[in-house]
Amino acid sequence: MNSEINIMVFGQLAELTGSTSVKVNLPEDTDSLKKLLLEQFPALVNYNFIIAVDKRTITENSNLYQGATIAILPPFSGG
């Protein structure tokens, strides 16, 4: 069974990853996702970013599931 999922990547983070979406094996929760992304893109350690699951920003560790809509977001700078 394929448990790969797409992570949407926005703003300057997309410059870092070289793409607006990256594929990872579905981690159990958002903390694991963060760890996994930092392994894959070590330079991410220099960036502030937050994770959004199903269009809501995550403020504490949250479970992930197949089919979740996941995104990583640099600090907002609209207006």
Partner 1 sequence: MEARKPKQLFIQGAISSSFIGDSIQKHSSRHDIGGHSIFLGQVRADQVDGKTVRAIEYTSYEDMALEKMHEIREAIFSKYDLSCLHVYHSLGTVEVGEICLFVFTSSAHRKAATEACSELVERIKAELPVWGKELFDNETHQWKINK
Question: What are the Cα distances from residue 56, in Å, to 2, 3, 43, 69?
Answer: 25, 22, 25, 10
Closer Cβ to partner 1, 1 or 43, answer by number: 43
* Minimum CB distance to partner 1 smaller for 11 or for 24: 11
Given a contact cutoff of 8 angstroms between Cβ atoms, the answer to whether 33 and 24 are in contact is yes
Q: Out of 6, 12, 19, 21, which residue is the one contacting partner 1 (CB under 8 A)?
A: 12
Query: Cβ closer to partner 1: 12 or 63?
Result: 12
Q: State in angstroms the smallest separation of the CB of 52 from partner 1.
A: 6
- Kindly tell me which residue out of 24, 26, 36, 52 binds partner 1, with binding defined by CB under 8 A: 52
Taking phi over 0 as left and psi of -120 to 50 as alpha, with beta for the rest, 4 belongs to beta
